[in-house]
Amino acid sequence: MKHLFILFSFLFLAQVSFSQTIMYKGDYEYESEIIYVITGDKVYKGRTQMTGDIQYTIQDNKVYRGNSTFFSDCLYTIKGNKIYMGDGNFTSDVVYTVSEDKIYKGDSTFSQDAIFTFKDGKIYLGDSTFSNDVIFTVTIGSYTNLAVIACVIGPY
């Protein structure tokens, strides 16, 4: 679940486009390792892009469950560099903070609170950029928002 949130967070900060962003599990871009494909405002599980495979919908700075945009299906709200749980507005609702190429737990930007680092198309665990710490590889289309990626990989 945590990984899912981080993916959404990363992708949300950029502009929506028609090109795809593809996330792979691990350090390589094998088709068998595709976990998410992000096209437009939809995030699909795996490599297929059928309506039944929509895991998340992104609309108006919010990330929704499935193909829904109903209030009750709102998982995250992105405001600036903060990602709030559900439709939250308070500091206590901040789940992640995105700063530079890092995703931090809660309302923090201290290095010990870094849970993911994004560099050169790789997502590393924590504040690391060592090859052994790669947990996801991302091929980025024009839609490159670290906030959306945070939403997707946070709960993964």
**Domains detected in the chain:** 2-155 (2.40.160)
Which whole number is the average pLDDT over 90-96?
Answer: 93
Contact 62, 76 (CB under 8 A): yes
pTM over 0.75: yes
Which whole number is the average pLDDT over 141-153?
Answer: 67
**Which two structure tokens, joined as six digits, stand for 43?**
């995030």
CA 26 to chain centre: 15
Structure confidence by residue, pLDDT tens digits, 120-132: 989 999 999 999 9
Q: Provide φ and ψ at 59, rounded to 5°.
A: -155, 135
SS3 111: helix
Q: Distances in Å between the alpha carbon of 98 and those of 20, 44, 81, 95?
A: 22, 23, 5, 10
